[in-house]
Structure formats: structure tokens, C-alpha cells
Structure 1
Amino acid sequence: MSNSVEYQQSGSVAVITLNDLPVNSLGLDLRTRLLELFRSAVADSSVTSILITGTGRMFCAGADISEFDNGKALTSPLIPEVFNEIDACPKPVVAGVNGAALGGGLELALACDYRYAHPDAKLGLPEVNLGIIPGAGGTQRLPRVTNLKVAMDVILTGKPIKAGKAERLGIVDRIATGSDFLTGAIEYTRVQTVSKNSSDQIVDFKGNDRSHLEDMLKSLHPVREQSKLACAKALDIACTHNLEDGLKMEWALFKECHESPQSRALQHLFFAQRQATKVPGLEKTTLPRAIKSVAVIGAGLMGGGIAMNFANAGIPVKMLEVKKPALEKGLASIQSVYESAVRKEKMSHSQAEMCNSLISGTLDYQDLADVDLVIEAVFESMDVKRQVFSRLDEVCKPGCILASNTSTLDLNEIAAVTKRPQDVVGLHFFSPAHIMKLLEIVRGKETSNEALATALQVSRLIGKQPVVVGVCYGFVGNRMVAPYSREAFRMVLEGAAPEQVDQVLTEFGMAMGVISMGDMAGIDVGCAAAEANADEWKGDPSYQALQFKLKELGRLGQKTGHGVYIYQGREKINDPETITLSVELAEKHNIERREIGQDEIRKRCMYALINEGARVLEEGIANRSSDIDLIYTNGYGFPSWRGGPMQYADEIGLARVVAGLNHYRESLGEYGELWFKPAPLLERLAKEGKSFKDFQP
């Protein structure tokens, strides 16, 4: 007999304990056993009330979403069936929320008559972040337990709330006070004499709340915000229908979302986050080194942002610069960021002061002798970085991790100047470094497993999403940006307006068009990246010709107020002179200008990105396609609701991508032959009817 759920009786109280560690998810075995034991308690005349609680740190983390794989039939008893039976019980039922109650876990608690919670418990319905809606009564019972406004906040944000707040909002009935949670929960359950069926409750809402919900229903995008729109529809149903009908319509909306591309994309990313830390060749038994102090080389925007990550995690940081004015400017900039955070109520004054106090400056490498980790964030020049690492090798203690924030350069060449290449690793932060979640961890050919494990541990300490990548030009993210940007700028020479290209990409879902991104990063930065990778495009004299011309004219983007676009403060203005330059460059490079449609812009940019991703995957620079998707959704503004470029390719079909590449390979002449040949891996997977998910190196 399964022990995923345990049963005991304390006097007249039946105690049903979820015991499927670590998270007590509502898989088929657990919910079957739960329903069996619950029915036993209902049938037992000696039981007057029922307590449902959990073991470990979780009350219940909700459904086992691996059961949601499309093509799988959900097996009875379904979660809603179990909860509906609990809700209809004639005996009082208490949820003893001993820890986190998330998703189906909170829905289970809502199906009970009362909720008795541990002070440290968290409660939430995060389904909207997985492209689905609460499908086991959450949208119908929560607004009945509390009110419409609270239910909207909890369900539409997907953010969990603490037990104390949940009590104030009416979601929790009592917070435990004694040291023995279970004993308190049993005693609370023992005194409950009245059952409260949700079908007898109505939704409490004010006119303004309902009006706000109706406005939201009109404003939400039916594709980009599909799950949020479905949640809003379900809440509206709760206001106008009885519970029985509302639950049926909620389940129909759940199934509709569950079968959507958006749901597949968001769940793909959910699993990708867990897979990313499973690095081939890195054993779980490998122990990371303790990181109690950190140094950052360079006090510019990147260095300052990196330093703040560690200070915010309570780790002291020494920031080194070679000149005092640069150091003072960097420290002042950090203080300004903290002051702004206080003004915006993102931090308290005391928190900001504490974090700022953990960052100190120095002009002397000897002051770094005792730190556990050094991160270099200097100018993207191999000569400069080699000088820095040679000096660090001299002064840093044995066992200190030496990390480079390089975004394109060969980490192995950097490590070679040290006597400890096993301790050298890449930590590629994304700007602004104290905000962006992504951290590309670059594994050099001699990087030790211990150093790699430490880098992964560091990412957790500072709240980053780590992805381990191999060494090549640009690693994964920036290497793939090159062909994506190439096509965007090339199509401007061919006849598209820059704003047209950017608009197509933002309508696709990108946070920013790649041409605007070039202006933001700096036209000179884009040119430097192209020059560093010149061997790849030596057969194409038109490669990034517009960017090189803009650099020659001193039009470096936002920082000079003039790049592809003109900038007046934060306002971006289209520049007719850019079109004039494009016409001149097209004539110089014998490029025929023509009208280019939205479909071509989208396909050429996306297919070029996907094709390079296939090469990165085949070369082993990325461990799996989902790692590429994490990089692009967390660092490059790719829409999470599409799941990343590789998931997008899987969704539309690799054969379609190959056909598109071959179309442009044939229709664009020599240029097409040079750039649009499908990657061997992409071609092979398409021929076999497989997806990137199927690829195993």
C-alpha cells in the first residue's frame, strides 16, 4: 500500500497527512490515496472533523505538471474531482497549512472549510506563469473565501503571499502560535463543528472592482496574455454563476489554456530552469568553495552592477580601479542607485545603507589578497584582460576563483596567462547587472568541477538564472545575436526602414527591436564585436556596413544622441538620413532595393537566430536546447510566452524552418548561399521528424 498519504486518528479528529516528499505534489498516486482515506474518515462515525496537513516544508506544491504533457490523458480521479468531494463533506474539514501551499496546494486548502497556517507558510496560485489557470476551483473558491479584489491580485500576479497577510485578507482563518504545529492544528480542528460548503457562498465585490475586471478583459492581449485573460474570464464567471457551473467553465478554460502553445512554452521554461543546473560531467557530490568576500575589477556601470549583486546578498565587495576619479565616480553611482531604490520604495533606508556599506574601493591589487572570488569587468580587450589576470594570479590567495565577465573573448586564452587555469571561469553578467537575471557561466577547457560548482552556487546566492556554456566567440547569447542583427541591418540596405524592422520584431514579442538594441548597446560596441569575428564574414563586404558607416560618422547610438535613430532624452526619432546612408551603401555593394514585407523580416531574423542556435547546440557550446531558450528569454528579451527561439522552432516545426532557410538561400543569390544554408543538425532533425528537444549530444 502506498504511503504517499498517511492516516491517524486523534480522538474524534481524523488526521490525513500528505507524505510524498519533497513537495507533496498532487500526482495520481497521492490524490488516489488522499481520496480513499478521506472517504474512510467521512464514513467513520467516530470521526467528527477532519484535518488535512503535510510533512516537510511543504503543505502541497500543487499538481505534478509532468502529467500535463500534451498527448497524455489526465487520469481519474482528477484533482478537481477530489477537491469537489472535500468541499461537499458534511463534516468540518481543516487544512493544516504547515508550509507552502502553491497552485493546487492552495486550491486544496480552499476546498476545506477552514485554514490553520504556520506563521512561515506561503500561499499562492502561480498558474498564470505556466500559461494555465487555476483549474481545481481556485478562480471560483478564492473570491468566495475573500473577495474579488484580493482574488484578482493573487491570481493575476501569480505571486505568493505570506501567512500573516493571508490572514488579514481572509484567506487564512488562524495562524499557529505554539511550537508544536500539528498539536495546535488538531486542537483547532477538534473545536470546529460547522462545515461550510463553497456552493453556499457568493462573491463579495464592489462596483469598482467589477468594472476594473471588465476593463481588464477588454485590454488583455488574446495571444500574449492568454492565460491572464482566461484567469480574468474565470473570475468574471465567479461573479455571475453558481459554484457548480463556475467550476465546469473554469475546467473548460483550463483545458483550453493547457492545450495552447503558450502553455507549452512557459512549462518548457519551467523545466528548463531545473535542467540548467544539471551540468554534464559535474557530480552532485562536488563541493563548492565558500565565498565570503568578493572583489570586482572595474568600477564602471557593469562593475558597479556586479558589486551590488553581492552586497545585496550580504557579501562584502572590494571594487578596484586604476585611477581615483574613476573609482570615486563608480562608488557615487552605486550610492545613487541605492538612493533611487529607497525613493521608489524598493528598499528601506536601512537596507540601502547596509548594502552600500558592504562595498569599498581600492586602487591597490594587494588589497585583494584574501578575497574568495574576483570578477574582472574591464574593457573588452584581450590585452587588457591578460594584464589583469596576470596581476591577479600574483596577488590572489590559492583557491581564489578568478572570473572574467568577458562577453565574447576566448576564456582559455585569458586563463593561459595564469598558473591556475583550473580556477578560471567566465561569469558573463548582462546589463544592468544588478537587475538582469541571466548569468552565462563559461566553462573553460581547464576549469575544474569545483570552480564550476562554486560558480553555480554563486548564482544561487545572488539570485541569478545560471546557464553553463562552452568557449567560442560570443559563447551562446552574443554569438547568436550576430546573425540576428546581421539580417536586420542587411534588410535596411535592401529597402526596409529601421523602424519597420524593429516594429515587426516587437510585434513578434521581442522586448526591443534588434536595431534599437544596437543603438542602446552602442554602435561602436557592435562594430568591435563584428571586427573580432571578421573571419566569419570575410566573404560578405556588406556585413554590418551601416553600423560601420555610423561609427565613422561618430553616431554611436543613445550615448551620443544619434545612431540609427535620433535621441532627445528618452524619445526616439526616426532619422531620414539613415535611409539616405542605406541607399548609398546599397549602391556601393550592388544591393537591389525593394519593398520588404513583415513576413520576410520576421522569418529572416528568427530563422537566422534559430539556425545559429542549432550550430551552437551541435558544437556542444550549449548543453541542451532549453539552455539556449533560458539565455534568450532571460537576457535578450525573447518573449517567454513563445518559450525561446528553439522552443519556437519546435512549435512551428523544424521542417518549416529548413524550408524557409532554403527559400532565402535560393532567392537572395550569393548572399543567400553564403548565409542561409541550414545547419547540419537542423537539417537532420527535420528530416527525421524530430525536434530540438529530442537532441541528445
Structure 2
Amino acid sequence: MSDQVTLTRDGDIAIVTVNNPPVNALGVAVREGLVAAMEEVDSDAAIKAAIIIGDGRTFPAGADIREFGQAPQPPALFEVCSRIEDTTKPVIAAIHGTALGGGLEISLGAHYRIADQKGRIGLPEVLIGVMPGAGGTIRLPRIAGIAAALDIMISGRQVGAKEAADMGVVDRIAEGDLLEAAKAFARELIDEGKGPRKTSERSEGLGTPEENAAAFETARNGIVKKAKGLYAPARMVDSMEFSLSHSLQEASEYERDCFMECLKTPQQKGLVHAFFAERASAKVPENGRADPRPLEKIGVIGGGTMGAGITVAALNAGLRVTMVERDAESIEKGQQNVEKVYDRDIEKGRKTPEQKAAIMARYTPSTSYEDLGDADLIIEAVFENMDVKKEVFGILDKVAKPGAVLASNTSYLNIDEIASATSRPQDVIGLHFFSPANIMKLLEIVIPSNAADDAVATGFALAKAMKKVPVRAGLCDGFIGNRILGKYATSAAYMVEDGASPYQIDKALLEFGYPMGIHAMGDLAGLDIGWANRKNNAAKRANDDRYNGTIADRICEKGWFGQKTGKGWYVYEKGDRRGKPNPEIETIIAEARSSLGITPRDFSDEEIIRRYLAAMINEGAKVLEEGIALKPSDIDVTFLYGYGFPRYRGGPMKYADMYGLENVLADLREFEKEDPKFWKPAQLLVDLVEKGETFDDLNKRAAG
């Protein structure tokens, strides 16, 4: 045994307890302890059955992330699972919390499984670019069936106790105390003379050989293809199929080989980087220097799409929310926008009417700013106009209680200027939510010049309560995400002017791994937003800047703003959100090129991606130079969660490292010849290449 695994006895039942807080991760000491416990169970004739259970909040929840990237130390997890399965007395896995990845594989090595009502299982290895490597592809399909097992593995989703029981993965659900229920289960097995039941030898989830072959073919043509860009799903299918016609030993070795192949892929490196980047994003100086202020009641100003989304996110976090709108009609619409979300949940069976009523009891609609007087934090979500926002903050300065955090949901505007409308700039921060705010996980927390540390810490506390991924952003036009977006959107606009089709660009981006192309995204967001932005910034544009809006302006002048008007870069039939290329766009583009004196040329898909990403990465480097982002991984998190950058590529800065910073710089030098100002390489990028360093080196320095 080990300090992290203990064996106690209740009569002839051995209770093997894993105690490796916080999540009982399956580190080497836990693996050693489990093997030793099974040896003792086998060798002691007085023991008739064994229970494996986790201490604290969960059954073993998976691998120890501290071992990522290190040489594995014996015993390997697949050996532990096999040792549990080979135990000569019945072994019950008692699951509470989350039995994920290796945790589920441990439980599948056991002969029986019991779970409490809130227990969840899953094999989420695909989320870090690998696949189960300790028997998951061998044992799970034998109980749950091929289709269900592949769905669990390829989606990476967590399965609740009831669904797991319906699949046959969990034998029973505990009523009351889990350990007592597990003991009663063990007593039944002993009294009935039931011995071990090896999962690897079961077959009730499987069909005939012909049915199994058809299931694998369906998987390859369906869910594997949908997991575009990922290597692991296809290898899961291969491993599962191999296991049906080979011995457990051969199948285990094959599964391990497939697992090791996944470890060598760029996708795995990108996904692991994304995993750690997300966890590092909340590590900011302000959180280390101050505790958050109280956060129980918040105010939201505005009941439109954004304000309603923020309100729902806050209500879902258990907070009380007062929403303020300018008049009775507007606040009625705001409340309808909130209720619509919960009504949809009821329709889809995610909530009951009673649950909706309990949530809405924490919601207060109002047309008076005075009702925000007891709010701990107030979020302004009104029209993106400086004068309007300053007017709102001037009112908040008078009605908000001392110490209340005042936050603007601006996407671009200068928060220092917004804060100047108050007598308390230390209480003002930016909270840039992404729409729909109740679904999108990213929250840019923008730090103006005078923000107090505890005000910033409160923003991060709100993100945690809302289950958002927070990123700290310094103050500049567009902050991190929209500032960089402006650059690569400009590069796309230049390519369209110079000869590329907008539909070719979108197709290249889809093949790179984006969920949609930039022109389709513009249609979704509304082309009028960019049009207004270009007009607002016209006076700031330098004479030697190449204008990027000639074609987009002409589209907007026709009243085509995208999905909201049924036409933009694409045409949208009623109810169709995908759209088809707008046949009139080519004429607009040709006329614009003619007026600009441009002779169009061909672009390959490869050049489109090189230009698009060079613009993105170069601006990201400038954002780092200026301290707008604290570390490259924060830029990666921003683009993974807010802008659809393919997760398996790790984010733009991680992609740059894998592509090679010297190659990024070479691309910029090539493009710089045609437009020295736009394509001028960031000094930080030049310095890193000269030193032979990477963006990841900067991440390591930031981590200390």
C-alpha cells in the first residue's frame, strides 16, 4: 500500500480507499497502492470481497496532470486495471463525483460498479488529443455497446449515473450513503456466492460479428469524420475493433500502441497546451494581491441580447440580478429575453417549470437606477457609444453604494474615459462578454489605469461563479481579441481586393479547422457593426494606411448586413443560417477592384492561411510587447474560446511555435515587401527568433 491508498476491513469486506486530494488523481503512489491492495485482498483468506472508493469529493477523476510529458513510472495504469480485474474475489467500484478517463478505466477493471445519484463517468481523453490507454476501448463496448462507447469517447462528454445505469455500465445506483450501499452490495455478492465477473470477458453490449462490423463502418463514416482534424477518434475505432478478435493481452498492447501514436501528434501538443493555458488564465497579479469584494447581488443595465445573456449567466451562477431598462416596454422585452432561455430549457427537458420559477425568483426587472443601490457589482450592457456609456456611469456614480464594482461590457471603447464620468475610477473595470453571454465561455477582464486590485479580483470571482474562462486584458482599442481580429480581418479584406474569393477564404479557414469562415462570421455578427466602426475610426486613419473597407462598405450601402437582413456575403433563405454565396458579390468586388486599379491574381489556400495567421500572430506579438496580454497563452485562450480558433491547434501563439517562429518571420518579411507598414514584424518576434526562443518560453517565465 501507500500513504495515498489504505485498506480497512468491515468484517470480511475490504475497503480500499484512495486519498490523493483534491481529485484522487491516479499518480504513481495511487497506482502502487491499488496493486498492493489487490495483492492483500487475494492473499488474505478472511477477505471475501473488496470495495474501491475515493475519499473526499470524488472517485479517482483521472490521470495526474503533473505526470504529463514525463516518462511513465510503473505500474502503468493498464497494468493496475488488469490486476484489479484478475483479483480472485469480487471487487466493487463505488463511484461518486467524477470517474473520468483512468478513473472510469479503474472502475471497468473492477467486477461490479455502484454509483451515487450524482456520480458521473466519462472517457474525455480526446479533449487532450489522446484516447483511453488502460482498457477503455476494450472493456466499455462489451457492456455499453459499440455505438454508445464511441459516443462517450469521441464526444468526451460526462455521463450521469442514471444514463450509465441504463447502459449497463453501472450495476446499481445507491440510495443514501454510498459506502453503506456498496457494503450491502458486497454482502449480497458474498451471500449469493457470486465471484469475480471480468468486464473484458463480457459481451452483452456486442452484436453479431456482422452487426459489429457495420457499427464500426458507421462510426468511421459518421462520428469520426465529424471530429475533423483529430487523430485520436479513428484510432479509438481501430483499437475497439481489434479487441474483438484478439486476446486481452494483445488488445491491451494494441490499445497502448494507438495511445502512444496519439501522443506524438501535433494535435495532442495543441490540446494539452490549451488544457494548461485555460488553467493559467486566472493566475494574475491582482488575484495574488487582493481578495474579491462581496458578490451576491448584481445589476445589469440593458435587456437586449447581451444584457439578457449576462443576466442568465448570473442567475445560473446563483446570483440575484436586477435588470434596468429605460421604460416599461423595454424592460418587458428584457424579461421576455431572459425567460425565453429558460422556456427553451424546459422544452428540451433540461429544466422543469419549478426550476425556472426558482431561478426567476432571483430576478428583478426595473426601470429605475435607484433599484441598483444595493448591488455589489453593476454591469453596463448598453449601445456601444461613448457618450451613452458615460451618461450611464455618471448616473451609477450617484446611485451605486460605496465599494460597488462598476463594469462596462464595451468591446472597443476606452474604459479610462468611461471611468472619468465617475468619482470612483478605482471601482471601474471592463467585463467584455461574448454573445450569447450565457453560452460563450470567454470573459475578457479589462484593466483600466486606476482599477483597484480587489475590483479586478471581483471580476475574476464573477467569471468563476459563471464558469467562464477569464483572460486579463490591458487597455487599448479592442483589447486582446478584437484588436487582433481587426488585423487578420484586414488581411482577409486585402486578399479579396487583390484577387481571392471570399468563399475561397472561408473554405480555407474551414479546412484549417475553424467552425466558420470570417465572411460567414461577419454575416452572423452583422456587417453594420464593422461599417459603423470604420466610419467612427475614419478620422484616425493615417494617410499611408491602405483602407480595408472598400468592398464591405459597398455591401453595407445596399442594406445587406448579413443574417439579420437575409443577405450579406451570403444569401440566407428563411430559416437557413448556413447561407449560400451571394451571386451579386462578385460584381461588387470586380467594380471595387477596377476603381482601385487592382489587377486580380490567384491565391492558393496555403497562401491564404499563411497571410491570415501571420497577421494574427504578428499582432499578438505586439499585444505582448505592449503588456496588453500578460502571456502568450492568454492570447491562445482568447481565440480558442471567443473566436473559434481550432482547439487542437492550441491557439495562434502555440500554432506559431509549432509552425516555427522563423517561418512566421520569413512570411512577414515576404509580405512586408508589398506593404511595409501593415506587415512590419513585431520586434518581440524578431527578438525571439534571434535568441532561438519561443512563445512557450515566455509562458514559462510568466509562470515563474
Q: Give the TM bin, normalised by the shorter chain.
A: over 0.9
1:579 aligned residue: 586
Distance 1:630 1:171, change over 3 A: same
C-alpha deviations, 1:103-134, integer Å up to 9, x for none? Answer: 10111111112223334322222112222111
Q: Which amino acid aligns with 1:253?
A: C
1:613 aligned residue: 620
Q: Find the aligned partners of 1:507 and 1:375 in 2 and give their Cα distance.
A: 38
2:302 aligned residue: 298
Aligned residue among 376, 385, 406 for 1:402: 406
CA contact (8 A) 1:5 1:18 kept: yes
1:200 aligned residue: 201
2:689 aligned residue: 686
Deviation at 1:538, TM superposition (A): 4.4
C-alpha deviations, 1:72-128, integer Å up to 9, x for none? Answer: 432222111222122122233222334422110111111112223334322222112
Q: Find the aligned partners of 2:693 and 2:186 in 1 and give their Cα distance.
A: 54
1:440-455 alignment to 2 at 5 Å? 440-455=444-459
Distance 1:203 1:655, change over 3 A: farther
CA contact (8 A) 1:485 1:515 kept: no
CA contact (8 A) 2:372 2:399 kept: yes
Mean alpha-carbon deviation: is it higher for 258-267 or for 589-598? 589-598
Q: Which amino acid aligns with 1:227?
A: A
For residue 572 of structure 2, give the secondary structure of its aligned residue in structure 1. strand
Q: Find the aligned partners of 2:172 and 2:27 in 1 and give their Cα distance.
A: 28
Q: Which amino acid aligns with 2:694?
A: S
Q: Find the aligned partners of 2:95 and 2:351 in 1 and give their Cα distance.
A: 30
1:318 aligned residue: 322
- Structure 2 residue 369 is the aligned partner of structure 1 residue 362: no
Q: Which amino acid aligns with 2:602?
A: E
Deviation at 1:485, TM superposition (A): 0.5
- Structure 2 residue 476 is the aligned partner of structure 1 residue 472: yes
Q: Find the aligned partners of 2:546 and 2:86 in 1 and give their Cα distance.
A: 74
Deviation at 1:315, TM superposition (A): 3.0
1:17-416 alignment to 2 at 5 Å? 17-69=17-69, 72-177=70-175, 179=177, 181-182=178-179, 184-186=181-183, 188-189=185-186, 191-192=189-190, 194-202=195-203, 204-206=205-207, 211-219=214-222, 220-221=224-225, 224-283=229-288, 286-356=290-360, 358-416=362-420
For residue 58 of structure 1, give the secondary structure of its aligned residue in structure 2. coil
Q: Which amino acid aligns with 2:688?
A: L
Q: Which amino acid aligns with 2:498?
A: E
Deviation at 1:448, TM superposition (A): 1.8
Number of residue-to-residue matches in the alignment: 689
CA contact (8 A) 1:203 1:238 kept: no
For residue 59 of structure 1, give the secondary structure of its aligned residue in structure 2. coil
Q: Which amino acid aligns with 2:111?
A: D
CA contact (8 A) 1:257 1:263 kept: yes
Q: Find the aligned partners of 1:595 and 1:113 in 2 and give their Cα distance.
A: 63
Distance 1:349 1:117, change over 3 A: closer
- Structure 2 residue 667 is the aligned partner of structure 1 residue 676: no
CA contact (8 A) 1:55 1:98 kept: no
Q: Find the aligned partners of 2:280 and 2:597 in 1 and give their Cα distance.
A: 47
For residue 579 of structure 1, give the secondary structure of its aligned residue in structure 2. helix
CA contact (8 A) 1:217 1:233 kept: no
1:458 aligned residue: 462
For residue 283 of structure 1, give the secondary structure of its aligned residue in structure 2. helix
Deviation at 1:359, TM superposition (A): 3.7
Deviation at 1:612, TM superposition (A): 0.9
CA contact (8 A) 2:228 2:513 kept: no
Mean alpha-carbon deviation: is it higher for 186-195 or for 367-376? 186-195
CA contact (8 A) 2:301 2:324 kept: yes
C-alpha deviations, 1:651-696, integer Å up to 9, x for none? Answer: 2221111111112112xx2x2x111122112222223332211113
Q: Find the aligned partners of 1:348 and 1:178 in 2 and give their Cα distance.
A: 24
Q: Find the aligned partners of 1:562 and 1:662 in 2 and give their Cα distance.
A: 38
Q: Find the aligned partners of 2:234 and 2:668 in 1 and give their Cα distance.
A: 35
Q: Find the aligned partners of 2:546 and 2:172 in 1 and give their Cα distance.
A: 72
2:657 aligned residue: 650
For residue 515 of structure 1, give the secondary structure of its aligned residue in structure 2. helix
- Structure 2 residue 434 is the aligned partner of structure 1 residue 417: no
Q: Which amino acid aligns with 2:249?
A: E
Q: Find the aligned partners of 1:395 and 1:664 in 2 and give their Cα distance.
A: 53
C-alpha deviations, 1:341-387, integer Å up to 9, x for none? Answer: 43333433333444455444322222222222211111111111111
- Structure 2 residue 529 is the aligned partner of structure 1 residue 525: yes
Q: Find the aligned partners of 2:12 and 2:348 in 1 and give their Cα distance.
A: 53
Q: Find the aligned partners of 1:331 and 1:230 in 2 and give their Cα distance.
A: 48
Q: Find the aligned partners of 2:385 and 2:373 in 1 and give their Cα distance.
A: 24
Q: Which amino acid aligns with 2:519?
A: I
What is the RMSD of the two structures over their aligned residues, measured on CA atoms?
2.5
Identity of aligned residues (%): 40
Distance 1:538 1:346, change over 3 A: farther
For residue 644 of structure 2, give the secondary structure of its aligned residue in structure 1. coil
For residue 596 of structure 1, give the secondary structure of its aligned residue in structure 2. coil
Mean alpha-carbon deviation: is it higher for 417-426 or for 1-10? 1-10
Runs of 4+ deviating beyond 6 Å: none
CA contact (8 A) 2:614 2:668 kept: yes
Q: Find the aligned partners of 1:158 and 1:3 in 2 and give their Cα distance.
A: 31
Q: Which amino acid aligns with 1:26?
A: L
Deviation at 1:407, TM superposition (A): 0.3
Mean alpha-carbon deviation: is it higher for 477-486 or for 9-18? 9-18
Distance 1:686 1:223, change over 3 A: farther
Deviation at 1:641, TM superposition (A): 1.8
Q: Find the aligned partners of 1:199 and 1:643 in 2 and give their Cα distance.
A: 36
Deviation at 1:517, TM superposition (A): 1.7
- Structure 2 residue 492 is the aligned partner of structure 1 residue 488: yes
Q: Which amino acid aligns with 2:87?
A: C
Mean alpha-carbon deviation: is it higher for 607-616 or for 299-308? 299-308
C-alpha deviations, 1:586-630, integer Å up to 9, x for none? Answer: 344343321121111111111111111111122221122222112
1:665 aligned residue: 672
Q: Find the aligned partners of 1:124 and 1:580 in 2 and give their Cα distance.
A: 52
Q: Which amino acid aligns with 2:15?
A: V
TM-score scaled to structure 1, two decimals? 0.92
Deviation at 1:232, TM superposition (A): 2.6
Deviation at 1:474, TM superposition (A): 0.5
Q: Find the aligned partners of 2:541 and 2:662 in 1 and give their Cα distance.
A: 26
Q: Find the aligned partners of 2:304 and 2:201 in 1 and give their Cα distance.
A: 62
Distance 1:334 1:176, change over 3 A: closer
Q: Which amino acid aligns with 2:254?
A: M
For residue 60 of structure 1, give the secondary structure of its aligned residue in structure 2. coil
For residue 456 of structure 1, give the secondary structure of its aligned residue in structure 2. helix
Deviation at 1:401, TM superposition (A): 1.5
Q: Which amino acid aligns with 1:292?
A: E
CA contact (8 A) 2:146 2:215 kept: no
For residue 497 of structure 2, give the secondary structure of its aligned residue in structure 1. helix
Q: Which amino acid aligns with 2:85?
A: D
Q: Find the aligned partners of 2:433 and 2:547 in 1 and give their Cα distance.
A: 31
Q: Find the aligned partners of 2:533 and 2:403 in 1 and give their Cα distance.
A: 33
For residue 285 of structure 2, give the secondary structure of its aligned residue in structure 1. coil
Q: Which amino acid aligns with 1:195?
A: P
Distance 1:363 1:16, change over 3 A: closer
1:633 aligned residue: 640
Deviation at 1:10, TM superposition (A): 4.2
For residue 506 of structure 2, give the secondary structure of its aligned residue in structure 1. helix
CA contact (8 A) 1:68 1:258 kept: no
